[in-house]
Structure 1
Amino acid sequence: MYFISNILSEPAFLVGMVTLVGLAAQKKKISNIISATIKTMVGFLLITTGAQSMGMSLMPLQSMLQHIFGMNAQVASIDSAVGQGLTSFGSEAALIFAFGFLANVLIARFTKFKYIHLSAHVSFFYAGLIAALLKVGTSLSPVMVIIIGSLILGMYLTFSCAYMNPLMKNVKGGEGFTIGHSSSIGCLVSAGLGKVFGNKNKDLEEMKLPKSLEFLRETTIALSVLMTLIFVVISLIATPSFVTSSISGGKDIITFSLLNGLKFGLWITVIITGVRMMMADIVPAFHGISEKIVPNAKPGLDIPLLFPTHPTSVIVGFLSSLVASLIGMAILGALKYPVIVFPALIPTFFTGAVTAIFGNSTGGRRGAIIGSFANGLILIFGQAFLLPMIGGYEPMMRVLCETDYAFYGPIIGWVLRLLHG
């Protein structure tokens, strides 16, 4: 249990173990194994720290948007939300996570679906969601909750990577891995909509810019400038007086917006550095696993790996998903639906960004906008359907509900209701 809850549940250790085992299987020198393992873990931590900090930098926008729409509810702390969720379902989540990952490896070893999902934080939160659905929606014994939950998780980890894999051939920077992330169904839908309604030849990332704006081709600069503009616009709508008194700590909106835009650029630069470090070692190391342990296996990795090569899609996808979620919120309000949710900006940003990337890969500009818009609708309506089904896991899903949680969660909940009356 110590190994599961303290070692295997730490994503950095998990990817480090993959590098260690893969290089050991190739009989590399011990010094090379140690060096590559450490660089993989440091690179992974750069990616996750950059991604988490980038997401947290959006929290002032959440408060401003709630003020604009007259929703004065306090923005929940991620730490407190995660703490509440794990207090209710933490032990079951840890066991489902461990045995679910084992099921994923066994499926990859003995079937044609050769994919190993390595985004451990995604797996762990999904394990908690499955535990919540099974405990709240059934009268199963704790042992059966863990057995059934592990099988569900193992199948999800395998097959979400499997249906993402064919989409990677169209995505720049997607060579050598598939996506293992809880935005997979949004990416699949977005790629499908892009193919039907878009034009692949009009790539969002290749829009012609005037020579005076060519500097925006650089990822760090483009995202810093665009995020600064977003902060300025929303600050003006929320009113400068409100922002200065309640959000910015007394800073005027220009200073406040510039600082937040630059911080956003900082974190994407951290992610870019981490991507280069991790990919230099984990992909070659994974060849050892695919040769010796799980033949022809492919790793499922996290979505920030794609952000550096798709800066325009990242911003367009975030904004499109956000607009869709706000429209969905208004529809739920007009229908007087009993559960009203406000878009959580961290999952809206990450899932919106990656669904735009896949929409763009099959349908260019229109594909990116339409696909990420559909993602925003899935997020808001799926979350509203999901929350009544999960008891004490609700706080976590209010702040971290990504597309797969919002899509598959209600389906699992409805199936359980049918089976258990």
Structure 2
Amino acid sequence: MAQFLDILLKIWDYFANNILTQPAYMIGFIVLLGYMLEKKPLYESIAGFLKAVIGYMILMVGSSGLVNSFRPILTGLKDRFNLTATVIDPYFGQNAVTDGLMKTFGRTFGDVMLLLLFAFIFNILLVRFQKYTKLRAVFTTGNVQVQQAATAFWLLLFCFPKMGRIEVLLVMGVILGLYWAVGSNLTIRYTQDLTDGGGFAIAHQQVFGIAFISWLSDKFKAHEEKTHKSAKRLEDIQLPGFLKIFNENMVATGILMLFFFGIIMLVLGRPYFNQVYVTSKGASGLAPNASFLFYILTTSLSFAVNLAILQLGVRTFVGELTESFTGISDKLLPGSVPGIDVAATFAFGEPNAVTIGFLFGALGQFIAIGALLVFHSPTIIIAGFIPLFFDNAAFGIYANKRAGAKAAMLLPFLSGLIQVFGAALVATWVGLSKFGGYLGMFDWDTVWPFFTVLMKYLGIFGIIAVVIILVVIPQLEYRHDPKNYFLMVTDYDQYKENVAAKKAAK
């Protein structure tokens, strides 16, 4: 029996390390499985697999280019001013958990991967029995799952430091699996509206945030309509005179990023980037004899380049994924959709909404960081590029689609404030700030601190309360519109007709 379990564990490790936690191959595997279930010819199935993998790799080139170019600039503020600070970034957060697990709780990171397995299987089961659970989305973003499993593992141990290994894995496997299924499920309606029936949900770090921002956007739009104000979207605004240059997305992005990052890079100074060049052995940073002006220009404009690459990757793989997932829906998980990286939304809606969401989210974060410094917070937050960009850019897209330009500015700004203040509070409280990092994205500054409070102070009743909350959410969502709830996934065109008819009848 022990030998059989060892073999199963090795198979799981191979699958987890090479497919599940490698999003490109996970998406490719889903596409291949879907086409095979549809009984497509082998050559078409393999072609779909390759196109999906290559498309996702293109997306990751753009995404990694954004992160790798601008993360050192933001973390440089920490080094430049000698701040003892916590960086809000999923990778810094994962490193903090890895560093602190053994020192604080005597646990290893290996348990995190087992937690991921438990939660992923539970997510699939919840979707399989959607007749009862009302859940329709499978969380497939493996790298995000690892980061979340690590932080969730820490939070549960913080609440129950003496809980046994199996108990931790079972309890958090249920909670995390529910969070993945429920959170991704919440994004379906808003993402279908954004993509005009794209056939996917979001599986990232701000799934509750997308639902919350979209809900607020609808309230914002309703208020505008009551006061007889027209809610103009960004794409409807034509700027006058020389400002017309901002009507072109790449030009607007280039200019705004040059202004935004140019100021930060000037504050950091040439010596800092020369040191980065030495430390990285020429891989990045500014060479001793190179022009600082053109280094700033090249780095800032690379934002627009990497964003364009990212959008190309999305267009390459999303079509394959949507078409092939029909096979999985029909044969294995009826009425379901895949939950994928939030970056997939950047190819939909108004391109300038990405930049506007990012900039106003950054403004909110920097104001909040300034407040932490002024009021001598025990934890100072350094803005990480991933929450700074991926949360707030996505919020800008959804807000602009649903309520126009004002919402695309105001709501990401609100998000920026929440990200910093929420991260400062929870990272200090649970002890991750001493290890220099916290996941720090929207859901982990709002939803998960709330769950942690319930579990810390109510014990086993807190666990029950968290599970009940997560179970009830899709039931309430279903009751709101039972006729169209599953239709928006299975037949989006009919869903649109029903919604239009309902509006016309009012």
TM-score, length of structure 2 as denominator length: 0.75
Tell me by how many angstroms 1:218 deviates. 5.3
Q: What SS is found at the alignment partner of 1:342?
A: strand
Most deviating of 38-47 and 244-253 = 244-253
Q: Alignment RMSD, CA only?
A: 2.9
Matching residue of 1:368:
408
- Residues 118-164 of structure 1 show CA distances to partners (whole Å, capped at 9, x for unaligned) of 22222221111111111222021010111111111111111111211
Letter in 2 for 1:344: G
Confirm whether residue 39 of structure 1 aligns to residue 51 of structure 2. Answer: yes
Most deviating of 145-154 and 10-19 = 10-19
Matching residue of 1:94:
113
Letter in 2 for 1:197: F
Matching residue of 2:64:
52
Tell me by how many angstroms 1:353 deviates. 0.6
Q: Using the alignment, how far apart are the partners of 1:395 and 1:49 within structure 2?
A: 29
Match of 1:409 among 432, 437, 448: 448
Q: Is the 8 A contact 1:63 1:75 kept in 2?
A: no
CA shift in 2, pair 1:244/1:3, >3 Å: closer
Q: Is the 8 A contact 1:165 1:178 kept in 2?
A: yes
Q: Is the 8 A contact 2:426 2:449 kept in 1?
A: yes
Matching residue of 1:355:
395
Most deviating of 108-117 and 195-204 = 195-204
Pairing of 1:393-404 with structure 2 (within 5 A)? 395=435, 397-398=437-438, 400-404=439-443
Q: What SS is found at the alignment partner of 1:299?
A: strand
Letter in 1 for 2:146: F
Q: Using the alignment, how far apart are the partners of 1:384 and 1:306 within structure 2?
A: 28
Confirm whether residue 273 of structure 1 aligns to residue 325 of structure 2. Answer: no
CA shift in 2, pair 1:246/1:283, >3 Å: same
Letter in 1 for 2:304: G
Pairing of 1:10-25 with structure 2 (within 5 A)? 10-25=22-37
**Which runs of 5 or more structure 2 residues have no equivalent in the other structure?**
1-8, 102-107, 225-229, 277-284, 461-506
Tell me by how many angstroms 1:337 deviates. 3.5
Matching residue of 1:384:
424
Q: Using the alignment, how far apart are the partners of 2:433 and 2:50 within structure 1?
A: 34
CA shift in 2, pair 1:61/1:338, >3 Å: same
Q: Is the 8 A contact 1:168 1:178 kept in 2?
A: yes
Q: Using the alignment, how far apart are the partners of 2:86 and 2:423 within structure 1?
A: 16
Q: Using the alignment, how far apart are the partners of 1:368 and 1:195 within structure 2?
A: 12
Matching residue of 2:381:
341
Q: Using the alignment, how far apart are the partners of 1:174 and 1:394 within structure 2?
A: 45
Q: Using the alignment, how far apart are the partners of 1:66 and 1:272 within structure 2?
A: 31
Q: Using the alignment, how far apart are the partners of 1:84 and 1:239 within structure 2?
A: 25
Matching residue of 1:62:
74
Matching residue of 1:260:
299
Most deviating of 4-13 and 20-29 = 4-13
Larger Rg: 2
Matching residue of 2:217:
194
TM-score, length of structure 1 as denominator length: 0.88
Most deviating of 386-395 and 290-299 = 386-395
Identity %: 24
Q: Is the 8 A contact 2:86 2:379 kept in 1?
A: no
Matching residue of 1:113:
135
Letter in 2 for 1:380: V
Tell me by how many angstroms 1:389 deviates. 4.8
Q: Is the 8 A contact 2:194 2:401 kept in 1?
A: yes
Pairing of 1:168-317 with structure 2 (within 5 A)? 168-172=191-195, 175-198=198-221, 201-210=231-240, 219-236=249-266, 238=267, 249=286, 250=288, 251-309=290-348, 310-317=350-357
Q: What SS is found at the alignment partner of 2:109?
A: helix
The count of aligned residue pairs is 418
